[in-house]
Structure formats: C-alpha cells, structure tokens
A = this chain, B = another copy of it.
C-alpha cells in the first residue's frame, strides 16, 4: 500500500491527483513549467498544459489577487509563493482580500485555494529567504494554517487543503524536501488533528514543521536517559489540536513548545498561554529563535536554531526539579 516518497514528491503527487480528479484545480506561480525552485511542480505542466500549470510574471500581488478572483468564479487555485518571505509582497491580497472575502460579502462567496509558502532556514539563505512567519496567519480570521513535517503528512494534508473550501496557507519546510518516508495514498489526515509522534508520561513536547522532527529525535534521546516524553506534532496551527495537547499536559504536567520561528510573538506563546489558562499548575517552557535576524554566515545562522540538544536539555531541566 505504502510507497517510498520524498517530502517534495508527496505534495506533488497529491496535487497531481487532485488535478486529475477535478479540472477546476490549477496552479500558478513563477517558473512552474520548470518545476519551480525546488521541483515541486516537475512534470505537471507536461501533464496538464500551460493553462493549468501557469508560468507567471514576477508579480506576487497579482498571483495572489488573481487567485482570489479566479476562486470567486469557481476555480480552485493552488498559489505558489516560492519563498514564504516573498509572500509579504502580497499581504494585502492575502489578509485584507482573501481571508475576508467570504465574511465581508456575507457568505456570498468563498475563496477556496491553497497558498503554498516554502518556509524556514535552509543553509545560508540569509535574512530575506529564511523566515518562519506561520504565527502571523494564525492571527488572521478566515485563514487555515498547515505545517506538514513528513512525506505522509505532506501528501495527506495537501489533499485535504485542496479539498477544503477555505483559503489554506500551506507551509512546506525547505530543509526537508529530500526527506524520505512511506506514503500511503489512502490515508486521510484531517486538518486540525495532531500526530502523537511518541507517547510519554513525564513531559509533553509540542512542535510542528521540521522542528517536530527534531522533537521526535529529542524524545528518543530522552527515552534512553529514562525520561518519557510525549511528542506532539500539531501539523496544523489553525485549527490546532488543543484537546490533544491539553490531555497530554493534564497527564505529564509539563509542556515544552518548540518552534523554529522567533520566540517573541510566535505561536508557541499561543499554545503556552492556552495551556496555562486550561491546565493550572502546569510547568511551561517555550523554545524559539532569539529575536534577532538570520544571518548568512553558517555559525551565525546556527545561533538562531532550536536544536535537538536544546529540546532535550529543556526536558531534562523541567523533569529534574
């Protein structure tokens, strides 16, 4: 049933299947005919033609705005933003227009679309090509926010995102395009349901995107040391699986939230605050990037990283006292 696939292949396969099944699904972005920067679209223009896999000008605002217009008349666009940083060139279109189109017009229309934003640090790409801004979009009513961390999830969640009648902001992590894993095409994942990557008793570690992979490694390392960590990959930030996290922290009494994005104002604060309100007495710790910029030099870039070591160390400290 399951096939070996990389992370980049997984969402490409999901997109291909969706385009085969529904001819109103199409994609638009720069250089798509050559696969885009990371090969996410390789072969799709050959398969579906240049009208459904559209090479666009360097016009992020128009890519995003046009997708809304096209969604309003009944097509289902998949928007490629290339680097999540460039999506900032289309913020009015996403936040003031797409997120509000259904509500503002009293439910007369929907903006069913997927907005793909490759995210995160990727060796020495420096300040304008490395950001993780997923927390912004959780703050915008109307938007769904998805952050897959494995090939299987990138397959299943892409399918769910394309099928959704809402605008879905879809963050793929640039560092794991080549990550291999088993993908079962029949496996559906509901947006809003976390994956429990490891069951444990002593401490709950919540994360998403590539950091969830680091959290899982930290969990394994801690197990060797006799610390039993429950590792939760949220997979989506809006909606997010509060019930799973709450149940886990109710059991462990300790919460670590770890993410690659800047700690200040990051979604870790939302998770931590929610649990602080809901599970009085829980011990809470957040890990995220310092509030500085991502530099080019590798050693400086590394200063911004949340690592397996840091997660494990936080768990040791919390379970020690």
Which positions in A face B, CB cutoff 8 Å?
Answer: 85-86, 88-89, 91-92, 95-96, 99-100, 103-104, 126-128, 133, 135-136, 138-142, 238, 261-262, 264-270, 272-277, 280-281, 283-286, 291-293, 295
Contacts and interface: CB of A to CB of B under 8 A. Distances in A.
Given A270-B269, A284-B277, A126 B138 contact: no
A95 B89 CA distance: 10
Nearest to A296: B104
Given A96-B128, A136-B265, A141 B293 contact: yes
A286 to B, nearest CB: 6
Contacts of A267: 265
B273 A141 contact: no
16 contacts: A85-B96, A86-B92, A88-B91, A88-B96, A91-B92, A96-B127, A96-B128, A100-B293, A103-B292, A104-B127, A104-B293, A140-B265, A141-B292, A265-B270, A272-B277, A273-B284
B128 A139 contact: no
Q: Which 10 A-B pairs have the closest CB atoms?
A: A139-B265, A272-B273, A269-B269, A276-B276, A91-B91, A138-B265, A269-B273, A103-B293, A269-B270, A88-B91
A142 B293 contact: yes
A184 B219 CA distance: 57
Given A293-B100, A295-B103, A276 B284 contact: yes
Given A269-B270, A273-B276, A277-B286, A139 B264 contact: yes
Contacts of A269: 269-270, 272-274
Contacts of A266: 139
A272 to B, nearest CB: 4
Given A88-B91, A273-B268, A276-B272, A139 B103 contact: no
Identical subunits present: 2
Contact of A92 (B88, B104, B127, B280): B88
Given A139-B264, A238-B264, A272-B272, A280 B277 contact: no
Contacts of A141: 262, 291-293
Given A88-B96, A283-B280, A127 B103 contact: yes
Contacts of A91: 88-89, 91-92
A246 to B, nearest CB: 14
Nearest to A86: B92
A276 B254 CA distance: 12
Nearest to A290: B141
Contact of A264 (B138, B283, B284): B138
Nearest to A280: B283
A257 to B, nearest CB: 8
B103 A128 contact: no
Given A265-B270, A276-B276, 11 more contacts: A88-B91, A100-B127, A103-B293, A103-B295, A133-B139, A138-B264, A139-B261, A139-B265, A140-B262, A264-B270, A270-B273
Contacts of A138: 264-265
